[in-house]
Amino acid sequence: MNARAKKTNAKELSRQKRKFQNFEIYSYEEVSSTNDVAKEIAGDTSQEKMVIVAETQTFGKGRLGRRWISPLGGLWFSVILRPKILPEDATQLTFIMASTVAETISQMFGLKTEIKWPNDVLVEGRKICGILSETNTKKRDVEYVIVGVGINANVDLESFGCNLRDNATSLKFELGHKIKRKVFLRRLLESFDLRYQRLQRGQWRSLLQEWKKLASFLGKQVEVTSFDEISVGVAYDVDENGALKLKLENGATKKIMVGDVTLREKS
Ligand code: BTN
């Protein structure tokens, strides 16, 4: 085990870091959470575009404090970034990662993908990818952002509990065969990097427009659970801060920053 792995007790698969374009990829057999390993590494270096990949996570983290089930066969990874942006804009990275995953899945595997706010990627209405970004700030500056991505790649749906199985899917299930995860990861990183460079050049608006084209829930009747509150209405837009704009049944409008969306009608 090397120094990078010691705090999270990660079992390192390959000591040799692989280089791919601007990225350095570190592969682990098992970690608690690739986001946590990435945070430790980010605290020890000033580098960015380091990628932590693990075969399994014993304590995968999901949004809103949930657990993320991470069996063998999935693609569980986290990217360390040091963008020159304001802390409140760090959510833009999650958006460009969601567009990247949705587009890459449809281009590589011919599956129709969609994004559900905030950043779930769905195939056939079921979740195939979730993204959890964590930001570390120093005063008013972003020190680093960890963008953690969980993709149900070669995962058997039986690995999930009954509740999850109804709402989740995997590439293996949809395609009827396994995919080459290494090739897939490289395509994702390549495509993400192009978007990341555009973001750094100030192109957030056009990146958000691309995201909206994949966001098929827009214009539909939805139910949004935000903390303990449930709101029902038409999801008519997502603003530049990533907030969901709802037109409520009484005609009023409402902006929601955090929550979960459920479609109320079939498309
Ligand atoms: C969600 O709840 O939809 C977000 C799930 C994010 C899961 C990924 S798997 C890789 C990275 N490490 C974690 O612990 N979580 C993210």
What's the CA gap between 186 and 13, in Å, rounded?
18
Cα 69 to middle of ligand 1, angstroms:
9
pLDDT value of position 17: 84
3-state secondary structure of 161: coil
Count of CB atoms situated within 10 Å of the CB of 229:
10
3-state secondary structure of 85: coil
Atom 3 of ligand 1 has which residue's CA nearest to it? 130
Ligand 1 atom nearest to CA at 119: 3
Cα 68 to middle of ligand 1, angstroms:
6
For ligand 1, pick from 31, 32, 35 the residue to mutate: most ligand atoms within 8 Å of CB.
35
pLDDT value of position 6: 55
* Amino acid code (one letter) for 132: L
pLDDT value of position 101: 98
For every residue of 29-83, DSSP letters joined together read: EEES-HHHHHHHHHHH-S---EEEEEEEESS-B-GGG-B----TTSEEEEEEE--
For ligand 1, pick from 25, 94, 149 the residue to mutate: most ligand atoms within 8 Å of CB.
149
- What's the full length of the chain, in residues? 267
Cα 129 to middle of ligand 1, angstroms:
9
pLDDT value of position 8: 65
Cα 13 to middle of ligand 1, angstroms:
20
Q: Which two tokens stand for residue 134?
A: 């964590």
List Cβ neighbours of 172 (8 Å cut-off, separation of 6 or more).
73, 153, 154, 155, 156, 178, 179
- Tell me if 28 sits within 8 A of 10, measured CB to CB: yes
- 156 conformational bin, left if phi > 0, alpha if psi -120 to 50, beta if neither: beta
Q: Packing angle between helix 91-109 and helix 181-200, nearest 10 degrees? A: 140
Q: Which ranges of the chain have pLDDT less than 50? A: 1, 3, 266-267
